[in-house]
């Protein structure tokens, strides 16, 4: 069974204090790893898809990386508007199209 | 940009009512999904559809049914609403093989009294 574990559950940063969120996964035959951002009361917003170990993608202050066992979402010099829940998901194995989601990391950035 | 819309942002219903939640996507995506999201339980898949008139059960289908008569529209039906179905309901779509990235709608917060 596919499993995704995100850590920490919650992270509080000061504005400008860079850090990383972790997503550890167990899946048979990874096809893709997905990062989403979710603001309170809204649907998840797609950020990145990573397909193979060593791949990296960037968007503004966010950079996602992938290894064979985990993915990191690096946040450089965060701003209060980066506060949100960040969700990680994977696709793999025989369950085409279905994603397995982690529980998310709640990020709070204080000014 | 991909756009997924849901018929209501907030909905209040009575126990025993039949409830329809509708989702429409405008990008000609093959796959559509219904999830519910509850604090501490994360996103849970209710039903999904790979094609028009096709549906498959997700992880928690009990008490729900779905309908997909047209490619762009996927409806979730609560046959007889119960208080434990109070939740945030999220619809998503994805293009189809080999692309599995899902794009989500804004969500419907349902309260069953």
| Chain A residue at shortest CA distance from B102 | A46
**pLDDT higher than threshold 90 for residue A95:** no
Q: Which residue has the tokens 């309260």?
A: B111
Best mutation target among A40, A41, A44, A51 (most B Cβ atoms within 10 Å) is: A44
**pLDDT higher than threshold 80 for residue B2:** no
**pLDDT higher than threshold 90 for residue B16:** yes
The HSE-up count of residue A94 (CA atoms within 13 Å, CB side) is 1
Take residue A46 and report the two structure tokens written for it: 């797609």
Residue B69, sorted as left (phi over 0), alpha (psi -120 to 50) or beta, turns out to be alpha
Tell me the nearest-neighbour CA distance from B33 into chain A, angstroms.
Answer: 9
Contact between B43 and A31 using a beta-carbon 8 Å cutoff: no
Contact between B43 and A87 using a beta-carbon 8 Å cutoff: yes
Q: Which pLDDT belongs to residue B53?
A: 83
Report the 10 Å Cβ neighbour count for B12: 11
pLDDT in tens, B61-84: 999 999 999 999 999 999 999 999
pLDDT in tens, B17-73: 999 999 999 999 999 999 999 998 999 999 999 989 889 999 999 999 999 999 999
Which string of DSSP letters, residue by residue, matches A26-78? E-SSEEEEEEEEE-TTS--EEEEEE-STT-EEEETTEEEEE-SSEEEEEE-S-
């Amino acid at each position: 069974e596919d499993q995704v574990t995100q850590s920490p559950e919650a992270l509080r940063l000061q504005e400008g204090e860079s850090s990383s969120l972790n997503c550890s996964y167990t899946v048979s035959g990874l096809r893709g790893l997905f990062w989403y951002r979710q603001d309170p009361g809204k649907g998840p917003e797609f950020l990145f898809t990573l397909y193979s170990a060593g791949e990296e993608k960037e968007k503004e202050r966010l950079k996602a990386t992938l290894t064979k066992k985990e993915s990191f979402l690096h946040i450089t010099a965060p701003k209060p508007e980066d506060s949100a829940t960040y969700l990680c998901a994977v696709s793999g194995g025989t369950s085409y199209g279905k994603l397995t989601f982690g529980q998310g990391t709640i990020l709070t950035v204080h000014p | 940009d991909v756009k997924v819309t849901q018929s209501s942002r907030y909905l209040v219903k009575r126990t025993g009512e039949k409830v329809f939640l509708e989702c429409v996507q405008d990008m000609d995506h093959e796959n559509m999904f219904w999830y519910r999201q509850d604090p501490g339980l994360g996103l849970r898949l209710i039903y999904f559809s790979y094609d028009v008139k096709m549906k498959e059960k997700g992880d928690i289908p009990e008490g729900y049914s779905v309908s997909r008569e047209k490619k762009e529209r996927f409806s979730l039906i609560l046959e007889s609403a119960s208080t434990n179905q109070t939740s945030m309901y999220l619809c998503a779509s994805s293009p189809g093989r080999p692309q599995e990235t899902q794009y989500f709608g804004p969500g419907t917060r349902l309260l069953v009294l």
